Amino acid sequence: MLKRTLRFKLSIVALVILTTLVSANALRFLPKNYATILYVPDLPKAYDAFKATPIGQTLLSDTGIGFESLVTGIIEQQLLSMKYTKDDFDLFQKEMMFAVDVDGKVTLALGPVKNPTRMRKILEGFLEADTLKNVKFVDNYFVYSELSQVGGGKAPSNLTNMLQGNLAVMYSNINDGKAQYEGYGYVKIENNGLVVYQKLDPKNAEAKNQVKQLQATKPIDIFSDKNVGGDFLMFVNRPMPDALRKSLIQPFQNALNLQGATITGVMYMCADIGSALAQMLNQDSQSQANISISSYGVVFGTNLKMPAEVKKYVTIANERYGVITSENGMETYILIKPDRMITYTVAPNKYKPGDRTFFTSVYDPKYIAGVFINLEPLINSLLGKKVKSSATIVTFIDGESIITRGVVK
């Protein structure tokens, strides 16, 4: 009898410990009204898995381009100036949870870290003051949230089951009171590349009607804009239903601080990131901080106004641009039109669009959104090798489902 009682008590203790361990992860910071989740249970494992692929070796290792050494060097230089070491910076040593709520507000949890007080001091040297205002440490976890209160959300019961064989999992439960969508996804290594996949299904008649309308809507012609070019392109080529726009696109557009504007969801942005990265790799660490990426972006909507951060105006080619200057001196030029906002990260009269051949070769009008990154020019310029390499993520409709598929190879 005594042994049974002891075994029972030990079982209860084990259950309590197990429950504590399960509930003590980053998922407990899920917002109550979350719409989408990305959860990575082991960041170092995911990083090492990607680094072991051919493209990971090419991009990250010192026998290739050496991005790992580049980033590590920049971080170590900053830490040294603050009298810290690389071992003090342990923000990415375990979990990551990224969530967006029904209104497009973002929550990011990382950790746990060994010393939250020290980590916050370190982050003051990396993050701008406006970003730090939304940062707190809870039980040794770094939590960035645009919400006043974090936590309260419950992860779906089968989310952790989906981790088997995958490096990360995704879940969407989008419900704006009218339309409802639900779907799961994953990130894993497959055929020597990093693969992303998600299937989002409409769960009621309103959502099904929205999917049909989305599929029937004619996309805008992105390539009619002669400024589109480079090696990076992100786009949404048709108006999105509110439920999908808020949870999937709003976080990107919130960065533009478009208060009071009516945003359709249609947007595109292109950049020449390869040239900037090549310059960084060929300059010393002090000069690297002054390198900017040449980019051009367009966001469509109505009632668009100049962001409050604009304190300076310039006239270029008879157009009046607002200028936002970041803490590190980088400038963004903004032009407001009746139906769109146009942005440049270099002076508009100095902007030169890059080649668009890669974009047009992988683009399909059936895509409703996507991200295209051409890695071939970067690899060729730094290694002298012509290697077909890219990162693409596209979203399209298949039957009644909205599919997102991506690959880095």
Q: Could you tell me the residue range of the domain that residue 119 belongs to?
A: 28-203
For 92, phi and psi rounded to 5 degrees?
Answer: -110, 35
Last residue within a domain, chosen from 139, 173, 203: 203
**Average pLDDT over every residue of 288-312:** 84
Evaluate whether residue 19 is within a structural domain: no
**Same domain? 49 vs 192:** yes
Closest among 238, 182, 198 to 368, alpha carbons compared: 238
User: For all residues of the chain together, what is the average pLDDT?
Assistant: 87
What's phi and psi for 90, nearest 5 deg? -115, 35
For residues 262 and 301, the answer to whether their CB atoms sit within 8 Å is yes
Q: How many domains does the chain have?
A: 2
Indicate whether 320 pLDDT > 50.
yes
Say yes or no: 77 and 191 in one domain.
yes
Domain annotation covers residue 142: yes
Instruction: Report yes or no on 7 lying in a domain.
Output: no
Position 189 pLDDT exceeds 70: yes
User: Could you tell me if 192 and 330 lie in one domain?
Assistant: no
pTM confidence score: 0.84
pLDDT at 370 over 90: yes
Residue 8 lies in a domain: no
366 part of a folded domain: yes
User: What is residue 241's predicted lDDT score, i.e. its pLDDT?
Assistant: 87
Question: What is the distance in angstroms between the CA of the first residue and the CA of the last residue of the chain?
Answer: 62
- What confidence tier does 386 reach under pLDDT thresholds 50, 70, 90? confident
Helices assigned H by DSSP within 187-283: 205-216, 242-244, 250-254, 273-281
* Inside any domain, residue 271: yes
pLDDT for the residue 255: 61
Domain termination site, one of 142, 169, 203: 203
**Is residue 240 located within the same domain as residue 335?**
yes
Q: In angstroms, rounded to a whole number, what is the distance separating the alpha carbons of residues 107 and 105? A: 7
Residue 15 lies in a domain: no
Q: For position 385, what pLDDT does the model report?
A: 83
Residues 299 and 169 in one domain: no
**Tens digits of residue pLDDT in 342-367:** 999 999 999 999 999 999 999 999 99
Query: Averaging pLDDT over each range in 17-26, 173-182, 277-286, 322-331, which range is the top one?
Result: 173-182
One domain for residues 221 and 339:
yes
Q: Which two three-digit tokens encode residue 367?
A: 């895509």
Domain end among 185, 203, 221: 203
Question: For residues 95 and 375, what is the distance between their CA atoms, to the nearest angstrom?
Answer: 28
Which residue in 287, 372, 387, 407 sits closest to 65, CA to CA? Answer: 387
CB 95 within 8 A of CB 40: yes
Residues 153, 277, single domain; the answer is no
Q: In this predicted structure, what is the pLDDT of residue 16?
A: 33
Considering the domain architecture, whether residues 198 and 223 belong to the same structural domain is answered as no
Domain shared by 38 and 62, yes or no = yes
37 belongs to a structural domain: yes
Residues 261 and 404 in one domain: yes
Residue 42 backbone phi and psi in degrees, to 5 = -145, 95
Q: Please check whether residues 103 and 226 belong to one and the same domain.
A: no
Asked if pLDDT for residue 109 goes beyond 70, the answer is yes
Same domain, 296 and 375: yes
CA 348 to each of CA 300, 304, 319: distance values in angstroms, whole numbers, following the listed order: 19, 20, 10
